[in-house]
Structure 1
């Protein structure tokens, strides 16, 4: 089957023998062309098996990572995103840092119109931490969307916490 020119450069999709990286590896992320650039729509990824390490104790932290975005020209390829998220498995970072690193990497990769990342971490030591970060392209209605969603975050528009 001939490869679509819009998807040239995808190295991982359809490949059976894939190397998993267990320490932070943003280079694994790949994109493809958005075929619906003239339309605003949401793309949402849910990763209920996310793992990273506490940078102090080395103990594992488990979370569901939610990524929602409004694409522009480029979109993240889901297999590469899965491998990227797995690459945090042996990486030591605080919950808040993990969410912000994921957000920054995806903004740098895709330059989306809007994106938000929410980490719903399982409790450890009797407390859970659920960092949330967002970005809207400056000078556009998506910057306003980011400000609005930030002000109303966790009030009523997002999913209920169902991973604990």
Structure 2
């Protein structure tokens, strides 16, 4: 086996181990709450596995404008930490830039990185807010909204707005 093949195998082994550990921890947490998964569930990764970098570009204009990025249905998903099933939704990022705007290609990679991560809908919204807020640094405001597909007759929308933070 070549060095490159060994490195790939080591990465795959580490990824598999991390997935098993996180899935096991989620199942143990659910058990403490009296929740047992119904049917089949798959392995998923922890939130720390998400893409960490969203590139930004300078915004050098005095004019304030509202910037809105919104995914199409089916483009944004994470995995339910209780079942491993995908939670599909629409992600909406809106802000008024200060010194920076987000670079779209890296934002797309960031959004896609959630697809194999097991995390509650409310938690993923908070993580995305924190990650984007950190990149924008001094946005005049930032609002993250996730609107998930209806599951079991319940629609879930989560909103984090910088204007409502302390």
Normalising to structure 2: TM-score of the pair? Answer: 0.66
List gaps (5 residues or longer) in structure 2.
Answer: 1-44
Q: Aligned with 1:124: secondary structure?
A: coil
Tell me the matched-pair count.
Answer: 115
Indicate which of 128, 151, 159 corresponds to 1:132. Answer: 159
List gaps (5 residues or longer) in structure 1.
Answer: 1-21, 136-145, 151-164
Larger radius of gyration: 2
The separation in 2 between residues aligned to 1:122 and 1:26, in whole angstroms, is 26
How do 1:4-153 and structure 2 match up within 5 A?
23-27=49-53, 29-36=54-61, 38-48=62-72, 49-111=75-137, 112-135=139-162, 146-147=163-164
Normalising to structure 1: TM-score of the pair? Answer: 0.66
1:36-84 deviation digits (Å, cap 9, x = unpaired): 1x22110000012201000111000000011100101111101111110
**Structure 1 vs Structure 2 CA RMSD:** 1.6
Q: Aligned with 1:26: secondary structure?
A: coil
Q: Which runs of 4+ in 1 moved over 3 A?
A: none
Query: As a proportion of its length, which structure holds more helix?
Result: 2
The separation in 2 between residues aligned to 1:134 and 1:101, in whole angstroms, is 13
